């Protein structure tokens, strides 16, 4: 290990993504790996998508880690979440997709945040799975954050018509693995899946980093 690497390690030691404990190596400590709130399949046969799964529930340290990642620039969390998501995909929807895509943020939010958290997750997850990640969707207008709205109807109305597929030929006849950060009611996943199917996608399955506990498999 070079001098600069040693200095970086002293100044910025690796920490567990979830509990922030300093680690010798890796990104998740043994205690968190053993006690994370595991989720699995969220919904089978959902509206416009065939299946949705998430490795974790959106609670406790998982929630805190995702908030740091999404709103406070902790993009270094992406590989750890992506590894968990890729394993979840292998367990629940292996062989059901040809390529990965993501739920994009608006241009306004991208400028404010500086990165698209779902794109980073999708690119890393796709790399883990050995499939291409394509920018199939585009958000055409800025909307209120769905997290601030109550109920599926309000969330669905908020994002209705907010996405488009600018190059349908990229998804026509193909099965899409759609990736986002958090699953709550499924309104955003459903709307994006609807647009992909309208553009000619054969099928859509979904994975998120975490799911709200109310999003239980029926």
pLDDT tens digits along 74-118: 999 999 999 999 999 999 999 999 999 999 999 999 999 999 999
In this predicted structure, the answer to whether residue 9 has a pLDDT above a threshold of 70 is no
Per-domain residue ranges of the chain: 39-211
- What pLDDT, on the 0 to 100 scale, is given for residue 54? 97
In this predicted structure, the answer to whether residue 216 has a pLDDT above a threshold of 60 is no
pLDDT tens digits along 156-197: 788 888 999 999 999 999 999 999 999 998 999 999 999 999
For 138-176, give the DSSP string: EE-S----GGGS-SHHHHHHHHTT-EE-S-GGGTTT-EE
Q: Are 175 and 98 in contact (CB under 8 A)?
A: yes
Work out the pLDDT band at 14, boundaries 50, 70, 90: confident
Spelled out in words, what is the top-level CATH class assigned to the domain 39-211? alpha beta
Mean pLDDT of the chain: 90
pLDDT tens digits along 136-148: 999 999 888 777 6
- What pLDDT, on the 0 to 100 scale, is given for residue 158? 80
- What pLDDT, on the 0 to 100 scale, is given for residue 3? 55
How many residues comprise the chain?
A: 218
- What pLDDT, on the 0 to 100 scale, is given for residue 13? 80
Who's near 4: CB < 8 A, 6+ residues apart? none
Work out the pLDDT band at 30, boundaries 50, 70, 90: very high
pTM of model > 0.85: yes
- What pLDDT, on the 0 to 100 scale, is given for residue 100? 98
- What pLDDT, on the 0 to 100 scale, is given for residue 44? 80
- What pLDDT, on the 0 to 100 scale, is given for residue 163? 96
Instruction: Report residue 25 as tokens.
Output: 């190596």
- What pLDDT, on the 0 to 100 scale, is given for residue 165? 98
């Amino acid at each position: 290990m070079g001098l600069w690497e040693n200095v970086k390690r002293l100044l910025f030691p690796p920490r567990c993504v979830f509990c922030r404990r300093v680690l010798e190596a890796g990104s998740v400590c043994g205690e968190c790996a053993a006690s994370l709130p595991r989720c699995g399949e969220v919904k089978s046969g959902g509206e416009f998508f065939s299946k949705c799964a998430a490795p974790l529930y959106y609670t406790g340290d998982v929630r805190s880690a995702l908030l740091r990642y999404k709103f406070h620039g902790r993009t270094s969390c992406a590989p750890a979440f992506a590894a968990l998501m890729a394993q979840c995909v292998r367990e629940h929807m292996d062989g059901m997709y040809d390529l990965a895509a993501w739920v994009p943020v608006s241009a306004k939010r991208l400028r404010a945040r500086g990165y698209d958290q779902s794109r980073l997750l999708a690119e890393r997850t796709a790399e883990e799975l050995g499939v291409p990640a394509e920018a199939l969707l585009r958000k055409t207008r800025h909307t209120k954050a769905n997290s601030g709205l109550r109920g599926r109807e309000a969330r669905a109305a908020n994002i209705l018509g907010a996405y488009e597929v600018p190059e349908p030929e990229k998804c026509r006849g193909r099965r899409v693995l759609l990736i986002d950060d958090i699953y709550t009611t499924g309104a955003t996943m459903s709307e994006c899946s609807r647009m992909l199917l309208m553009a000619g996608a054969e099928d859509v399955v979904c994975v998120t980093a975490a799911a709200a506990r109310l999003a239980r498999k029926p």
